[in-house]
Structure 1
Amino acid sequence: MTGAVLFDLDGVLLDSSAAMLATLAGVATAALGRRVTVDELPAGALTAPRVEVLAGLGVGEPDALCGTWWDPALATAAGTTLFPGALQGLKAIKEAGMATGLVTLQSRNRLPWLLEPAVLALLDVTVCREDAEPKPAPDGLLLALGKLGIDPAGAVFLGDTTGDIAAARTAGVTPLGAAWGYAAPAALSAAGATAVLDDAALIGPGLLDFATCPAAALSATAHKQ
């Protein structure tokens, strides 16, 4: 394989923002014994650690309660779907002979009901919450590349939070931002993303060009940072 394109899941390949907000509200409702709506969640609830969001709502021992209620709440929340162009882009990357990988904070047991079999079949490696120290630590990215046998300099990571960008930079992987995800493009730029892509339709073999191209040659279809 000629290189690797690694992805975060939520907000990058998977449009799950509504489901995640509903899940946070559902866990808070179960914990507090009163109805908590999505409108009551704080700004930035999607990019902050879930335990911090829940603790801010008054939930005691949020980590333990997430272990009990998170999966049922997520499984029954509003459906998730791939962003338009994501599946086609993954197929194109594979057809070009490049490796693909997923580095996500989701648990492995959730992947079969969050992603269709056709998507999972296009991923050469998946690193989940239980496999490595979560981002912004670089451990998950390095684990994925180690399994693929690819040097960090030959890989890019497409993420949608500042933690994703920090993890890639620490791992020595070229960090790319997804403007359609959870964090604002300006935040991804400030965190050090090499480029912030405008649309999931840009997912494809061309992403790996960012690992070797000088800044002046970055694609005009992305925001050069």
Structure 2
Amino acid sequence: MRPVVLFDLDGVLLDSRDAMLATLAGIATAALGRRITVADLPPEAITTPRVEVLSALGVPNPDELCEIWWDAALATTAGTRIFPGVLEGLMALKDAGTATGLVTLQTRNRLPWLLPPAVLDLLDTTVCREDAEPKPAPDGIFLALARLAAAPHDAVFVGDTLTDRTAAFEASVAFAGAGWGYAGAHALTAAGSRVVLSHPSQIGPGLLNLIPGGRHTRQVTTASH
């Protein structure tokens, strides 16, 4: 059975923190009729569901407004970029015969302008917001595994938030925390994550060591706290 490495998108493969916060502030500004800056957002805004953040700011009908405005606001705000080392890591995984996939809360129509074609071409499956119950439910991970004809014990999921960790636990797949992402290495470690990577350059075949009974022996270096 081919080993599988699944990834969250934002904060793991994609550096989108500034863009997401600017999008939240922009929608709040338009809805409330007064200037809302990123500095006005709560510190936990990046790891809190967008509807909850907007509701706390007093935005009426935030779910409906996000459906109307989110894509346009995100597409026109400060750009996103893949983290250094991501493309090379994905290429190395493919060269090692690994199946790769994405499990993200982003919608499918956004992927072509969030990720470069070179990255999308290296993903064997993409599970998006419209495909499954969102994390922390494990449904998206299960769907990705089904599409790849893989079992949970053949896979590892790389995520950057506590909801990612919960989804991996509920799906019975190994978890690697992306310490450079939204929640941060300290929060992931404090929540009990046994492996927390410190840099995107650690994306690669070394992740296969986390899969029970994996055949690879390359070292995975964890962050120390």
TM-score (norm 1): 0.95
8 Å contact from structure 2 (residues 206, 220) kept in 1: no
Q: Equivalent residue for 1:43?
A: 43
Q: Equivalent residue for 1:33?
A: 33
Q: Equivalent residue for 1:167?
A: 167
Query: What residue ranges of structure 2 are gaps of 5+ in the alignment?
Result: none
The CA deviation at 1:224 is 7.1
Q: Equivalent residue for 1:65?
A: 65
Is 1:3–2:3 an aligned residue pair?
Answer: yes
The CA deviation at 1:33 is 1.1
The CA deviation at 1:219 is 4.3
The CA deviation at 1:113 is 0.3
8 Å contact from structure 2 (residues 11, 180) kept in 1: yes
Aligned AA (1:93): L
Query: In the TM superposition, what whole-angstrom CA distance separates every residue of 1:134-180 from its partner, at most 9, and x where no partner exists?
Result: 00000000000000001111100000000000000000010110010
Q: Equivalent residue for 1:87?
A: 87
8 Å contact from structure 2 (residues 179, 185) kept in 1: yes
Query: In the TM superposition, what whole-angstrom CA distance separates every residue of 1:49-89 from its partner, at most 9, and x where no partner exists?
Result: 00000000000111110001100100001010010000000
Instruction: Please give the alpha-carbon distance, in whole angstroms, between the structure 2 residues aligned to 1:101 and 1:128.
Output: 11
Is 1:154–2:154 an aligned residue pair?
Answer: yes
Instruction: Please give the alpha-carbon distance, in whole angstroms, between the structure 1 residues aligned to 2:178 and 2:142.
Output: 21
8 Å contact from structure 1 (residues 156, 175) kept in 2: yes
8 Å contact from structure 1 (residues 127, 144) kept in 2: yes
Q: Equivalent residue for 2:176?
A: 176
% identical aligned pairs: 64
Query: What residue ranges of structure 1 are gaps of 5+ in the alignment?
Result: none
Instruction: Please give the alpha-carbon distance, in whole angstroms, between the structure 1 residues aligned to 2:210 and 2:96.
Output: 16
Aligned AA (2:105): L
Instruction: Please give the alpha-carbon distance, in whole angstroms, between the structure 1 residues aligned to 2:125 and 2:190.
Output: 29
| Off by >6 Å, runs of 4+ in structure 1 | none
Q: Secondary structure at the match of 1:92?
A: helix
RMSD in angstroms over aligned alpha carbons?
1.7
Instruction: Please give the alpha-carbon distance, in whole angstroms, between the structure 1 residues aligned to 2:181 and 2:55.
Output: 24
Aligned AA (1:150): A
Aligned AA (2:6): L
Instruction: Please give the alpha-carbon distance, in whole angstroms, between the structure 1 residues aligned to 2:53 and 2:125.
Output: 30
8 Å contact from structure 1 (residues 195, 224) kept in 2: no
Instruction: Please give the alpha-carbon distance, in whole angstroms, between the structure 2 residues aligned to 1:45 and 1:196.
Output: 22
Seen in structure 2, the aligned counterparts of structure 1 residues 70 and 220 have a Cα distance that, compared at 3 Å, is closer
8 Å contact from structure 1 (residues 159, 165) kept in 2: yes
